[in-house]
C-alpha cells in the first residue's frame, strides 16, 4: 500500500511516512494510490466483531508492510479501551416512525467524535517513534505535533498525546471562539509536553498558520513536524470504522437488506470523507448527506458547482462552533477523485494532481473555483446537502428534548438532525429498507450555553448539572496553562522554538 499527494508532486510514500509527515511537501493531502479490496466474506466475517477488532480489520488493509496484523490489533485494542461504552460508538433510535437513528460518537475521553481517530493516532505516533529509536539504539527520533482546533480536535489530540514519549504537541485555537468546556478541557492539561496556544483570529487563521509551518521545509525537518488535524490520513482511516460498525448494528436489528443514509454535521469535511471511503470500499450506502450551519461552503458547492470562500462575509459565529470554518481542507481529497474521474483525460492521476493544484491556487488567489457540470453531477450522486440556521439549531434541540422520551442533542448534532428532516422527501425516494443515521459528534454538555438557551427559552427546564459527565464536574475551576501568540506563522514558529521539549 503506497500513498500519493492530491497535488501530484509526491508519490510512492509508505503508510508510516504519511502518518509522521502529515502534509505532503507539495502542500497536498495524502491519499491511497489504490483503494484496497474488501475480503469477499466481509459481510459475514465482520458482522459481529467488536469495534476494536473491526477497526483492526479495516486499518490493516491500508498499512502495507509497515504494521503487522498483530500490531494493528494491539494498537486498536489499546486505543478503544479508553471509551466509556462497550460498543465504543453505539447506535440509538431517535424516531422509529421515520427510521432515524443517532450514531453516538462521543463516548471517548473528551466526549467528542475526534477521540475515535486521535486515541489511535496518539498510540500510532508513539509506536512508530519507539520502533525507530529502538532500531537506532537511542532516543533520536522525536516529533513536534502542531495542530489547529475549532474546539474538539484540540482536546482530543491533547488527551491522545499527553505524556507520550518523544512527542511535543502545540495546539492553536481561536481566542474566544471555542466553548468554555472545550477551552477548559485543553488548557487544564498540564503535562510538560502539551502547549496550548491562543490566537486572536478564526479557526481558518489557525489552520493557515499550521499549513504555512508545514510548508517551510527547513523548519518542518528541523523540528520533525507532525500533523494531528484531519489533514493526517490516519485520522480519516480510523473514522471509516464507525460507518461499518453502524451498518452492522442496523443489519442485526433490521435485516441484511438495510440501506443506510448517513447525515453528517460537516466543517472540515473529514468526518464525512471517512464515509465516502467506506462507500468506495463497498459499504452499501444510499447517500451521504452533508449538514452545514451558516458557514455553508459545502452546501453552496453542491448547489452550484462553485467552491467559493464568501470571504466578505467571513466566518460566522454560530451555536455549532466546531463547524465555523470558511474552507474545508479535507474537501481536497474528494475533489481529487472528482477531477480524476470527470475532468482529467483518460482518468489520468497525474493530470488530476495538476487540476487540484490549479483549483487550490484559484481558491487562494481569487477566492473561488468551479467544476464542470459532469463533475458536479458526479458529486451529487454521492452527496446530498442541507443548511441549518442558528434559529433552527435551537428549535431542533428544544423539539427533541420536549418529546415524551427526551433526547438531548448537542448543537452540531442538531444541525445534522434538522438537515435529515429537510432531506426526508429525498430519502423517501430511495429504494429498499432505508434507515437514516445522524452522526452525533459531541456530548451536549460540551456546549452548555447553546443547549441551555435552546431548552430554557422554549418553555422547558433543564438541570444542566444532571447531564454533566463526571470529568466535567469542577473542570472550569481547575488550574490552566495557555500561551497567547500573535496571528502570524513567524510568531508561532518562534513560540515552538522557545517551548519544544
Catalytic residues: 114
Whole-angstrom distance, CA of residue 94 vs CA of residue 85: 18
What sections of 255-348 are H helices per DSSP?
270-281, 297-304, 331-342
Whole-angstrom distance, CA of residue 196 vs CA of residue 194: 7
Q: Decide: 323 and 202 in contact? Cβ < 8 Å.
A: no
Whole-angstrom distance, CA of residue 349 vs CA of residue 168: 36
Q: What's the Cα-to-Cα distance from 425 to each of 255, 421, 422, 429, rounded to whole Å? A: 23, 8, 8, 7
Whole-angstrom distance, CA of residue 301 vs CA of residue 224: 36
Q: Decide: 51 and 88 in contact? Cβ < 8 Å.
A: yes
Q: Convert 473-495 to b/e letters by CB count within 10 Å (16 or more is b).
A: eebeeeeeeeeebebebeebbeb
Question: Using the 8-state DSSP alphabet, how is residue 109 labeled?
Answer: T
Q: What is the 3-state secondary structure (H, E, C) of 234-281?
A: HHHHHHHHHHHHHHHHHHHHHCCCEEEEEEEECCCCHHHHHHHHHHHH
For the chain, how many helices (H) and strands (E)? 20, 15
Q: Decide: 437 and 246 in contact? Cβ < 8 Å.
A: yes
Contacts of 255 (CB under 8 A, 6+ apart): 433
Per-state percent for the chain, helix, strand, coil, to nearest 5: 50, 15, 35
Using only the alpha carbons of the chain, give its radius of gyration.
Answer: 21
Q: Decide: 230 and 270 in contact? Cβ < 8 Å.
A: yes
Q: Decide: 15 and 66 in contact? Cβ < 8 Å.
A: yes
Q: Decide: 105 and 80 in contact? Cβ < 8 Å.
A: no
Amino acid at each position: 500500500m503506497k500513498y500519493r499527494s492530491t497535488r501530484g508532486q509526491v508519490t510512492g510514500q509508505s503508510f508510516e511516512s504519511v502518518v509522521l509527515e502529515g502534509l505532503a511537501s507539495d502542500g497536498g493531502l495524502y491519499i491511497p494510490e489504490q483503494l484496497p479490496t474488501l475480503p469477499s466474506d466481509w459481510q459475514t466475517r465482520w458482522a459481529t466483531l467488536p469495534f476494536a477488532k473491526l477497526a483492526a480489520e479495516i486499518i490493516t488493509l491500508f498499512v502495507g508492510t509497515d504494521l503487522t496484523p498483530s500490531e494493528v490489533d494491539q494498537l486498536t485494542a489499546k486505543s478503544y479501551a479508553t471509551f466509556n461504552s462497550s460498543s465504543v460508538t453505539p447506535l440509538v433510535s431517535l424516531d422509529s416512525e421515520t427510521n432515524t437513528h443517532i450514531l453516538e460518537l462521543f463516548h471517548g475521553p473528551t466526549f467528542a467524535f475526534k477521540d475515535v481517530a486521535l486515541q489511535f493516532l496518539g498510540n500510532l505516533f508513539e509506536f512508530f517513534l519507539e520502533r525507530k529509536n529502538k532500531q537506532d539504539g537511542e532516543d533520536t527520533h522525536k516529533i513536534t505535533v502542531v495542530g489547529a482546533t475549532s474546539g474538539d480536535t484540540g482536546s482530543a489530540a491533547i488527551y491522545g498525546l499527553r505524556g507520550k514519549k518523544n512527542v511535543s504537541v502545540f495546539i492553536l485555537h481561536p481566542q474566544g471562539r471555542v466553548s468554555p468546556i472545550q477551552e477548559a478541557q485543553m488548557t487544564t492539561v498540564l503535562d510538560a509536553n502539551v502547549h496550548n496556544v491562543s490566537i486572536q483570529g478564526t479557526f481558518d487563521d489557525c489552520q493557515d498558520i499550521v499549513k504555512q509551518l508545514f510548508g517551510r521545509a527547513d523548519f518542518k525537518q528541523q523540528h520533525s513536524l507532525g500533523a494531528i488535524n484531519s489533514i493526517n490520513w490516519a485520522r480519516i482511516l480510523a473514522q471509516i470504522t464507525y460507518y461499518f460498525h453502524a451498518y452492522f448494528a442496523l443489519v442485526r436489528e433490521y435485516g441484511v437488506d438495510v440501506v443506510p443514509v448517513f447525515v453528517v454535521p460537516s466543517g472540515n469535511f473529514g468526518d464525512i470523507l471517512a464515509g465516502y471511503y467506506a462507500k468506495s470500499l463497498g459499504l452499501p450506502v444510499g447517500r451521504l448527506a452533508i449538514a452545514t450551519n451558516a458557514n455553508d461552503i459545502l452546501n453552496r458547492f453542491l448547489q452550484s458547482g462553485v467552491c467559493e470562500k464568501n470571504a466578505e462575509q467571513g466566518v460566522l459565529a454560530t451555536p455549532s462552533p466546531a463547524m465555523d470554518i470558511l474552507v474545508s481542507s479535507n474537501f481536497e481529497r474528494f475533489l481529487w477523485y472528482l477531477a480524476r474521474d470527470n475532468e482529467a483525460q483518460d482518468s489520468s492521476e497525474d493530470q488530476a494532481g495538476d487540476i487540484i493544484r490549479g483549483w487550490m491556487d484559484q481558491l487562494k488567489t481569487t477566492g473561488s473555483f468551479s467544476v464542470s457540470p459532469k463533475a458536479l453531477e458526479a458529486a451529487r450522486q454521492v452527496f446530498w446537502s442541507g443548511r441549518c440556521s442558528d434559529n433552527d439549531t435551537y428549535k431542533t434541540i428544544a423539539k427533541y428534548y420536549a418529546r415524551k422520551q427526551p433526547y438531548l442533542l448537542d448543537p452540531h448534532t442538531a444541525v445534522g438532525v434538522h438537515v435529515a428532516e429537510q432531506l426526508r422527501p429525498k430519502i423517501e425516494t430511495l429504494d429498499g429498507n432505508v434507515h437514516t443515521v445522524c452522526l452525533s459528534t459531541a456530548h451536549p454538555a460540551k456546549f452548555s450555553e447553546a443547549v441551555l438557551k435552546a431548552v430554557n427559552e422554549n418553555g422547558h427546564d433543564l438541570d444542566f448539572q444532571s447531564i454533566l459527565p463526571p470529568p466535567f464536574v469542577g473542570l472550569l475551576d481547575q488550574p490552566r496553562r495557555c500561551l497567547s501568540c500573535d496571528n502570524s506563522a513567524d510568531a508561532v514558529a518562534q513560540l515552538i522554538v522557545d517551548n519544544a521539549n
